[in-house]
Amino acid sequence: MPPSTTDPILSLRGITKSFGAVAALTDIDLDVVSGQVLAVVGDNGAGKSTLVKVLSGVHTPDSGTITFESGQIEISSPADAHRLGIATVFQDLALCENLNVIENLFLGHEVRALRLDDVAMEVRSWELLRQLSAKIPSVRVPVASLSGGQRQTVAIARSLLADPKVVILDEPTAALGVAQTAEVLNLIERLRDHGLGVIMISHNMADVKAVADKVGVLRLGRNNGIFDVDDVSPEDIIAAITGARDNVVAQRSARHRQPAPTSAEEGSHP
């Protein structure tokens, strides 16, 4: 397992993006470190999707700076992000269900000399899947026949085709069952173990606590806290997401954590 460093491979400073009168992102600061998972959480409308699109080159920020491998960069298009080594797996996965695993992995990047080199693409497909310890029975089956977790595996494997340094996963466990979620979380740990910087957009606090090293909270398009996962409770994260510490979820959890009174305490009077 390559050790993680404390120096960020990707840094955002003062990133701001507006759509007309609506400020989607305002002065966002984030650091992504190689060999670590940064979970970005927030309520609907917090700016998570806009942040993903800025990093993937879909949107250009209005102001702020992005530093990648110690050099200031501009990501003006998805091709820029791809060339730099920033790969994004969007929530819809963008897979062609009628094509098999190999065809999906190499769609638009086929290996060919005079004609398609099926053997080379199949060998590379198995290399990518083994790198993730993926559970795919065959690379010749249509994606339509795979489970939700296996489809996510194919999408993540495709993102590794160009040997990226940062992988962005947009809600990777959304709509998955328990077993499939565990499978995808294992994949995320594999990415970290291979020394990649991982940004995981998520609503699921259990997933965040399971695989993330740090949590960045967005609220109304602004930073509302960066936390070490080992030092923060789900209730504290929810409080940062909602902007209030005395929210109903936190109150209920606090009551459940309080020890039950002893019989002596129940019978005592002030």
Q: Rounded to two decimals, what is the model's pTM?
A: 0.84
The DSSP secondary-structure symbol of 120 reads: H
Integer Cα distance of 142 and 236 in angstroms:
43
Q: Identify the architecture of domain 8-231 in CATH.
A: 3-Layer(aba) Sandwich (3.40)
**Can you say how many angstroms the Cα of residue 224 is from the centroid of all Cα atoms in its chain?**
18
Q: Which two tokens stand for residue 11?
A: 């840094």
Q: Which two tokens stand for residue 37?
A: 């998972």
- Distance separating the N- and C-terminal Cα atoms of the chain: 58
Domain ranges of the chain: 8-231
pLDDT by residue, tens only, the chain of 270 residues? 454 457 899 999 999 999 999 999 999 999 999 999 999 999 999 999 999 999 999 999 999 999 999 899 999 999 999 999 999 999 888 899 999 999 999 988 877 766 778 889 999 999 999 989 888 989 999 999 999 999 999 999 999 998 999 999 999 998 888 989 999 999 999 999 999 999 999 989 999 999 999 999 999 999 999 999 999 998 999 999 998 654 444 455 555 555 655 555 555 454
Strand (E) or helix (H) holding 254:
helix 248-257
Q: Looking only at Cα atoms, what is the longest distance across the chain?
A: 91
Count CA within 13 A, CB hemisphere, residue 115. Answer: 2
* DSSP code per residue over 150-207: HHHHHHHHHHTTT--SEEEEESTTTT--HHHHHHHHHHHHHHHHTT-EEEEE-S-HHH
